[in-house]
Amino acid sequence: MEQLMRDFFLFLSKNKALTKLAKKYGLRFGAARFVAGETIERAVNVIKDLNSKDLVVTIDYLGEFIDNEAEAKEMADNSIQAIQAIGRENLRSQLSLKMTSMGLDISDDVVLGNMRRILEAAKENNVFVTIDMEDYSRCQKTIDIFKQLKSEYDNVGTVIQAYLYRTEQDMKDLNEYSPNLRLVKGAYKESPEVAFPEKSDVDDNFKKIIKMHLLNGNYTAVATHDDAMIEYTKQLVKEHNIPNDQFEFQMLYGIRTEKQLELVKEGYKMRVYVPYGTDWYGYFMRRLAERPANVAFVLKGMFKK
């Protein structure tokens, strides 16, 4: 049943008609739990609150699969606006983005032009930028563009997904760049031809790449809500005397809030992924797909008086 629900919500996440309806009717039906609002002003207030609890942040102006140059430029402008807000308000926040929102599917010139504008603004405001990884069909292109940008800028990292067979080799190839990587299990529905179908295999590979990246001496963001992975990381850094400033934990806004605060109290850096904007539907559906408990929360909120 759990796998059926996951597949159902992943299918819904790609429905363009429902995406348009979601933009029209705003953050309803429980989405506000996972999305910090539709404007940068609302997001800034959320970040300030999180920072006051010693939680650091990465902010993401939601949007993906842009197919025209004007919209890609607008998305880049919104990311720059977010960077400027971080600098102006002295927020402890980074920026995350999807390159499909910057024109990845249009042309290399478009996406690289938008990314360079963003990274220049980020450099001026001392903001780090993480390029989110998307579905398998865009994986190689994302890595290629990341390598090109990393040769030009120090303030850029990307994401590696443990559920892909290719991941271990990607980690080896990227090591020469001494990259700052966010390591995740992966949230897209992929073919068993390219991704591990069994959770146990994904977990094993996740542990493998966490260890690989940390022991290579690279900065590592372990993005997970899984207690087993958190404990594995704690034991690994203790065993190998890895300093706390070489890694951090990351979780999504609205999920496992108490655990986030617990990790802060234990002395670990805890970064919260805070999305905002009107194009929240695909992101929201993927959050529902990840955990059945999220669905129960939303249903409860829909009928709560």
Q: Which residues are catalytic?
A: 132, 182
**Integer Cα distance of 79 and 83 in angstroms:** 6
CA torsion through residues 152, 153, 154, 158, sign: negative
Burial class (CB in 10 A: 0-12, 13-18, 19+), 71: middle
The residues near 275 (Cβ < 8 Å, ≥ 6 apart) are 34, 35, 36, 59, 60, 61, 62, 253, 283
Q: What's the distance, Cα to Cα, between the start and end of the chain in Å?
A: 29
Residue 121, CA distances (Å) to 86, 112, 181 in order: 11, 14, 21
Strands 93-98 and 220-223: what pairing?
A: unpaired
Lookup result for tokens 């819904």: 12
Strands 181-184 and 247-252: what pairing?
A: unpaired
| Token pair for 34 | 């996972």
How many other CB atoms sit within 10 Å of the CB of residue 208?
14
**Integer Cα distance of 233 and 293 in angstroms:** 25
